[in-house]
Amino acid sequence: MARKIAAFIFAAAVIAVVALYLRNLEPISLGDGASATAAADYTALITEESGFLGVVTVTDTYGEALYKWQSSEGYVLSAAVSPRHDALAVLTASKDSPFRLRIFSLQNETEQGSIYMPDQGVFYDIKYLDNNRIALFGSQAVIITDGFARDVSRYPFEGKTLTGYSISPDLVLTFEDTIVNYINGEWRNEPIA
């Protein structure tokens, strides 16, 4: 009996830690190639499924699946739910179309927009800045799009290496010698002292 109680307490502690990650908008590693990114109380869970190159499932606070998108055209690299919980952004890659951002409405399951990024380096992550702006993070640039995947702004790295980024609430990029802020649609460089 004591062993069952200890196992229950351990399981409750694990669930509490996962819940903290979900509330803080942090990526969560789920093992076996699965990952999740949370937007308040909605999660975009990336998994594999037979017959598809990737699957994204949007779940609510209780883990109930609200939306499922299956990719047959590209491998899913990253996914994010809008802060208003009405859209899903998905970054995919394939041999034929190196990197593509696709945005879907969670209300009626239609694609709201799409943009290809050929010959612009490797893209590896996407984050919503707000309900209508999405940042795509790559090896050579950060691209900002609107909620329909239309290009809004770009920040090319010009040979520099991105060492970190955060969104709180504005986008902040860090390089070895510079901090770059994206505030009200403008890029502002600040040298690191």
The domains found in the chain, sorted by start residue, are 2-160 (2.130.10.10)
**169 vs 85, higher pLDDT:** 85
Across 124-151, average pLDDT: 94
List pLDDT tens digits, range 148-178: 999 999 999 999 999 999 987 789 999 999 9
Per cent of the chain over pLDDT 90 is: 61
Across 63-82, average pLDDT: 93
Cα 52 from Cα 5, distance rounded (Å): 40
- Residue 33: per-residue pLDDT: 47
Amino acid at 175: F
Cα 9 from Cα 154, distance rounded (Å): 48
Dihedral of CA atoms 113, 98, 179, 144 in degrees, nearest 10, equals -10
Residue 186: is its pLDDT beyond 50? yes
- Residue 109: per-residue pLDDT: 75
* Burial (0-12, 13-18, 19+ Cβ within 10 Å), 45: buried
Q: Omega into 191 within 30° of 0, i.e. cis? A: no
Cα 109 from Cα 50, distance rounded (Å): 22
Residue 126: is its pLDDT beyond 70? yes
pTM metric for this prediction: 0.76
Neighbours of 164 (CB within 10 A): 9
* Burial (0-12, 13-18, 19+ Cβ within 10 Å), 119: exposed
Is-contact 138 117, C-beta < 8 A? yes
Is-contact 58 67, C-beta < 8 A? yes
**Which of 28-37, 107-116, 151-160 is least confident?**
28-37
Q: Which two tokens stand for residue 164?
A: 């970190």
Is-contact 37 43, C-beta < 8 A? yes
Average pLDDT of the chain is 81
Phi then psi dihedrals of residue 53, to 5 deg: -85, -15
Residue 23: is its pLDDT beyond 90? no
- Residue 97: per-residue pLDDT: 73
* pLDDT band at residue 26 under the 50/70/90 scheme: very low
Cα 81 from Cα 19, distance rounded (Å): 17
Distance of CA 177 to the CA centre of its chain: 26
- Residue 57: per-residue pLDDT: 95
**178 vs 11, higher pLDDT:** 178
Neighbours of 97 (CB within 10 A): 14
* pLDDT band at residue 120 under the 50/70/90 scheme: confident
Across 132-142, average pLDDT: 94
